[in-house]
Structure 1
Amino acid sequence: MKAIKGLTWDHPRGYRPLQAWAREDRSVNVEWDIQKLEGFESHPIDELAEKYDLLIVDNPGIGEAAEKHCLRPLETFLSDEQLLFLKESSTGSSFDSYVYADQHWAVPVDAASQVCALSGAAASTRPETWQQVCEYSQIHKGQVALSLGGPHALLTFYSISQSLGGTLFSGNDFVLSRETGVEALKIMQAIFVNQQKELVNLNPIGLLDRMAAGDFELCPAIFGYINYSTPETGIAVRFADIPHCGDPALRGSVLGGTGLAISVRCEPTPELIEHIMRYVSDSVQTTLVVENGGQPSNARAWRNVRANALTGDFFSGTYDTVSAAYVRPKYDGYIHFQDSSSALIREGLLAGVAAEQIFDSVKENHGRFLP
């Protein structure tokens, strides 16, 4: 049986459940390769699609990939019934996050958003608002860290801005008001001044590794990883809904997670399609995926009693945040704006640049990458 080549990302959450399913369901022969998280977040999908049949992708890169005609839209190989199942079973906006030009470009297989990660004393006090996070960072210096590596400085900024009531984008236009953006950056500055500066470039996995090791206690907005809240890690990190700025209905947060896309080099057979659809079924998502360190896309898995018992209530503790998380733009050029703007914020925080100046630089940067 000819091997179907797949590419996923280098973390147990990204590869263990897929590899387990490939072993479990031998109706097709799928071999999964692995790439680093940084490549997953920023490597052009079209280059990877030349080498692989199946790709695990995140939603912001879908627009660029669709414009380069390197993926097959789901509508060309899934039935209306299968598409409806994905829509009704997926957590929050996971299914619709892969829409571009009125078509879907990936099957959601993993759901995630920025949530609050806590350990040690912070796990019992659990700051509910961003003001309380600022106060905690002042009292417990070095115990609070922002997620700032790679694209995450901008995503943290997005989350706080939304919790202040701000609107980020209208279509492809960055419309956040200067007043709201500056206020969000001042909150970040108030926290950053008290954090360990050597943490600034770490991605979420690196930060959670440090938190699990006891190096600090609180990250208020970080993409949740189920693997840090399971018995195999000693339940080293607890996850909860992200802080708000006074209104719990405005928690901000940015949707992450992953989808499974089929490249144009692959002609999906009925057997491959069934293999994929069984993977996202209620039964497989609530058992095999969770048992192998995966973070299901299926909403029923997030509400499953056994799944929560296995993961220190990771799902129930963050479900409201993930369900309401913001879906980023997908225009061709957005990834470049995201990466470069995140660097502007990170460098501005390190250099002590005024919040107004940082905001203006992000606003100006946006215009450089419009299609």
Structure 2
Amino acid sequence: MRGLTWDHPRGHAPLDELTRLDLAGPNPYGDVPEPIEWDRQPLEGFESEPIATLCASYDVLVIDHPGLGAALDSLVPMDELFSPPELADFRARTVGRSYESYHLDGRQWALPLDAATQVAAAWPGTHIPETWPETVEFARAGGRLALCLGGPHAFLMFCALCSGDFLDREAGLRALELMAELLALADPEISLRNPIGVLDAMAAGGPDLCPLVYGYATYPLAFADAPSWPGRAPGSVLGGTGLAVSKSRVHDAGTRDAVRAHLRRLLSEPVQTGLFPATGGQPAARSAWDASGFYRDTRDTVEAAWIRPRFPGYIGRQERTSALLRDGLTARRPVRDLLDDLHREWT
């Protein structure tokens, strides 16, 4: 059996460890009929390589929910693999809306493996602002700041600031005005990186604060709930990954039994709360987010995070809009002009 995941240790280390234990046998986390050989793709592969194309080569795929809409014909619905009570149990044990993010057109197309959303990250000991006005004051007072605008993240920051309602003109103008002001006060080079690039720079002694970046529990940084607008809950855009199954490769009864065994084990409490944290993973299990540190400190934001659209073509539009915003903010274009360009892209 072949599987595909992403090439950060958070994405592959727990899976590789399970395969190693399977080959050494018996596996303390439970035995399966056949091990999975896991290949890796870059994080950007979630946006660049269609899930439907990958399904021709892999039995089990670790996927990102925004690409789901263009892949439904290529996946085995989870209700064909698991009973309604078992699916309900998976849902009840998952943090936030991670399970819901893989539900589309009345069916469940993947099961949550990893949970993440945008949160605040800071050098330990740094005061982390709780609101966006306080974040501006932090930067104005000389605090070393970075944003996270690389790849799709300029658009995702904009969506978080709009609490998902990114076509609302009032919310959009407020969001772009804030982004423009913060970028003018931030490290200009680090702010154009993706989350891993930003967090790597911070861990190496770079900026003291990134107010909105996808959290990684393994970094030696302090994390907190995302800043909010005064009087509102923190806005954030759900990330994480799910386990999907290829329709073209998983069709006979024996292969389906093997896939079920793997998915059940990967979502089991011992794997999610034990193996995943121990090997650098970031579990989707609700019980893991009850723990101390990173998980407890950001759980409220994960629970409230917005689910992105999942229609065919969404990922391309997300990339174009992010480039539009990033280039416009870097060039200091008037924010009303930027917002007009964004509306033309989406309407």
TM normalised by structure 1 equals 0.87
Aligned counterpart, 1:21 = 18
The residue type equivalent to 1:366 in the other structure is: W
Check the 8 A contact 1:22/1:30 in 2, yes or no.
yes
Write the deviation string for residues 318-357 of structure 1: whole angstroms up to 9, x where unpaired: 0010011000111111111111000000001111001111
Q: 2:66 aligns with which of 60, 71, 75?
A: 60
CA offset at residue 22 of structure 1?
2.2
CA offset at residue 210 of structure 1?
0.3
Asked if 1:6 is matched to 2:3, the reply is: yes
CA distance in 2, matches of 1:263, 1:183: 43
Aligned counterpart, 1:90 = 94
Aligned counterpart, 1:115 = 119
- Structure 2 residue runs of 5 or longer lacking an equivalent are 23-30
CA distance in 1, matches of 2:168, 2:42: 35
Aligned counterpart, 1:282 = 269
Q: 2:210 aligns with which of 214, 219, 242?
A: 219
CA distance in 2, matches of 1:201, 1:124: 22
CA offset at residue 299 of structure 1?
0.2
Percent of residue pairs identical: 42
The residue type equivalent to 1:52 in the other structure is: Y
Asked if 1:360 is matched to 2:336, the reply is: no
Check the 8 A contact 1:200/1:346 in 2, yes or no.
no
Aligned counterpart, 1:180 = 171
1:52-201 equivalences in 2 (<5 Å)? 52-66=58-72, 69-120=73-124, 123-140=125-142, 143-162=144-163, 167-168=165-166, 176-201=167-192
CA offset at residue 14 of structure 1?
0.4
CA offset at residue 208 of structure 1?
0.4
The residue type equivalent to 1:16 in the other structure is: A
CA distance in 2, matches of 1:297, 1:265: 27
The residue type equivalent to 1:119 in the other structure is: W
CA distance in 1, matches of 2:233, 2:49: 32
CA distance in 1, matches of 2:331, 2:126: 33
* 3-state SS in 1 of match to 2:44: helix
CA distance in 2, matches of 1:209, 1:258: 21
Check the 8 A contact 2:65/2:310 in 1, yes or no.
yes
CA offset at residue 115 of structure 1?
0.5
Aligned counterpart, 1:173 = none
Q: 2:284 aligns with which of 291, 297, 301?
A: 297
CA distance in 1, matches of 2:21, 2:311: 37
Deviates more, 1:313-322 or 1:13-22: 13-22
Check the 8 A contact 2:55/2:249 in 1, yes or no.
no
CA distance in 2, matches of 1:201, 1:260: 30
Asked if 1:341 is matched to 2:318, the reply is: no
CA distance in 2, matches of 1:186, 1:277: 46
Aligned counterpart, 2:25 = none
CA distance in 2, matches of 1:266, 1:24: 25
CA offset at residue 155 of structure 1?
0.6
CA distance in 1, matches of 2:19, 2:228: 40
CA offset at residue 315 of structure 1?
0.3
CA offset at residue 129 of structure 1?
0.6
Check the 8 A contact 2:159/2:165 in 1, yes or no.
no
CA offset at residue 152 of structure 1?
0.4
* 3-state SS in 2 of match to 1:293: coil
TM normalised by structure 2 equals 0.93
CA distance in 1, matches of 2:140, 2:47: 32
CA distance in 2, matches of 1:340, 1:112: 23
CA distance in 2, matches of 1:10, 1:223: 16
The residue type equivalent to 2:69 in the other structure is: G
RMSD across aligned positions (CA): 1.4
The residue type equivalent to 2:44 in the other structure is: E
Q: 1:255 aligns with which of 229, 235, 238?
A: 238
CA offset at residue 193 of structure 1?
0.4
Check the 8 A contact 2:126/2:208 in 1, yes or no.
no
